[in-house]
Amino acid sequence: RGGGRLPPQPTFITRAQWGANAEVGGCIPRATPETGRIKAGVIHHTVSTNTYTQAEAPGLVLGICRYHRNANGWNDIGYNALVDRFGNLYEGRAGGLSRAIIGAQAEGINSQTTGIASIGDNREETAGPKEVKAIVKYLAWKFGIAGIPASGRATLTSAGGSTQRTPAGERMRVPRIFPHMETNFTECAGAALNAQVPLIRRKVSRRLGY
């Protein structure tokens, strides 16, 4: 590492601020969060509208959380963090942002990754500069805590699952930052955002001072 100083924690819109903690209509986790070990970062898109206002964004996060919890039957929102088109970061799955909380964002490798989702549909629309900057801030901060570089590859062990490309028990070599489709049967994070991942990787590497 260069200077040895960890990138600072970015500012987040907390779960309380986007409505997760409300007794009625909130999104209270079903189970106590568990921790894993972060070896890589996974980028997603939520396939939501791209035309929301800044005031509407927290409601979109709450809607995603309620869908993940109530319709999918998951413990909580799948992603560890989310970012809106205005560059605001949102606290995702409960348990503490600085901890390696296991999400439900990349079946088979959740305990070995951190996941951040772009709020929007990135099949044809790229993430804007503010959004890219926020993704970079989040990943650099998490990688700094985990003590891992953004360049090179990580070895992950698959836990399997119907959407996971690698059978359970087998190992895979992946870039340190990659789109969801790299390891799972999905088009996520959308063609336009997938194409931006190499740039994001370089920017995270620079921010980490490697």
The torsion angles phi and psi of 42, rounded to 5 degrees, stand at -115, 130
* Residue 16: strand, helix, or coil: helix
Give residue 210's pLDDT: 64
Give residue 1's pLDDT: 42
* Token duo for residue 199: 């740039």
Sequence-ordered list of residues with C-beta below 8 angstroms from that of 133, at least 6 positions apart, any chain: 87
Give residue 4's pLDDT: 61
Residue 2 has pLDDT above 50, yes or no: no
Residue 191 has pLDDT above 90, yes or no: yes
User: How does the average pLDDT of the chain come out, rounded?
Assistant: 96
**Bridging pattern class, strands 40-45 and 12-13:** unpaired
Do the beta carbons of residue 109 and residue 180 sit within 8 Å?
A: no
DSSP structural state of residue 154: E
Give residue 5's pLDDT: 79
Condensed to tens digits (0 to 9), the pLDDT of residues 112-162 reads 999 999 999 999 999 999 999 999 999 999 999 999 999 999 999 999 999
Condensed to tens digits (0 to 9), the pLDDT of residues 11-46 reads 999 999 999 999 999 999 999 999 999 999 999 999
